[in-house]
């Protein structure tokens, strides 16, 4: 049962039929892994912590081996000048603990790769891919598909953002490896630049999808395998169903 403090803290989202009391308990018991704590990861993590994810039997694992640089502050809103030179995972843990001390936060000050991903997601309810390079995303995708862990991917480049939800057991839709094979994937913000609020749009979408999934994982009101592309300047959005590739070595 939710405590009086829980009811007071989460009162606004408890009014939603998509959350309600049972959904709130599901959020509290979820184990979420967030890989990449830049503009996407730090904001998505803030919303999940605020919503109470991992505040009871669950947890949130923060994964990143990078440190805070001054160029990050334009879009990575969890950090400030006092964090310069600090490991992002440690800095973010400190800031998030001020938002909701009840959430169990685990910190991994390392870069995710094929050698450590399996151990990270051993107990994961879902994974958020907030990284910024295709090679790491491919490795995260492969680990999630192999371990049947739902994967939520978001990305931003220039003035546009993209997102896709990949089911733990892809059936009628493909995985990230299929996406890379079938579509042109935008370059990272390192080579193309990025507008700060655009990253926020992608992170907000990603956090929303994760919360909808965690609150009712048996029948979430989200779409799997739907690739969204949004132009923030022109205020347009396109979506494509990602079919599985018959040649995919990951999900087929």
Catalytic residue set: 189
> What distance in Å separates the CA atoms of residue 89 and residue 241, rounded to the nearest whole number?
34
Q: Phi and psi of 206, rounded to 5°?
A: -60, -45
SS3 at position 8? helix
> What distance in Å separates the CA atoms of residue 12 and residue 158, rounded to the nearest whole number?
34
Helices (H), the chain: 4-9, 11-14, 20-29, 39-51, 88-99, 117-120, 134-147, 176-182, 189-192, 196-215
Angle of CA points 198, 140, 32, to nearest 5°: 75
Dihedral over Cα of 80, 36, 203, 220: its sign:
negative
Sequence-separated (6 or more) residues with CB below 8 Å from residue 240: 183, 226, 227, 229
């Amino acid at each position: 049962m939710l405590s009086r403090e829980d009811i007071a803290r989460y009162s606004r989202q408890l009014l939603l039929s998509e959350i309600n009391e049972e959904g709130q308990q599901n959020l509290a018991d979820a184990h979420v892994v967030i890989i990449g704590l830049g503009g996407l990861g730090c904001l998505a993590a803030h919303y999940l912590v605020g919503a109470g994810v991992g505040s009871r039997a669950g947890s949130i694992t923060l994964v990143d081996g990078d440190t805070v640089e001054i160029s990050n502050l334009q879009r990575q809103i969890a950090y400030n000048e006092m964090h310069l030179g600090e490991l992002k995972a440690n800095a973010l843990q400190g800031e998030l603990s001020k938002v909701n001390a009840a959430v169990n936060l685990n910190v991994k000050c390392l870069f995710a790769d094929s050698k450590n991903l399996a151990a990270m997601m051993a107990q994961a309810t879902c994974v958020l891919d907030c990284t910024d390079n295709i090679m790491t995303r491919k490795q995260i995708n492969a680990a999630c598909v192999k371990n049947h862990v739902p994967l939520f991917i978001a990305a931003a480049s220039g003035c546009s953002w993209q997102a896709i939800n990949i089911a733990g057991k892809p059936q009628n839709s493909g995985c990230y490896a299929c996406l890379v094979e079938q579509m042109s994937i935008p370059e990272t913000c390192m080579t193309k630049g990025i507008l700060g609020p655009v990253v926020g749009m992608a992170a907000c979408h990603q956090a929303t999808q994760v919360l909808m999934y965690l609150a009712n994982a048996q029948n979430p009101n989200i779409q799997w395998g739907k690739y969204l592309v949004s132009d923030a300047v022109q205020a347009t959005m396109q979506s494509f169903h990602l079919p599985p590739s018959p040649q995919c070595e990951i999900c087929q």
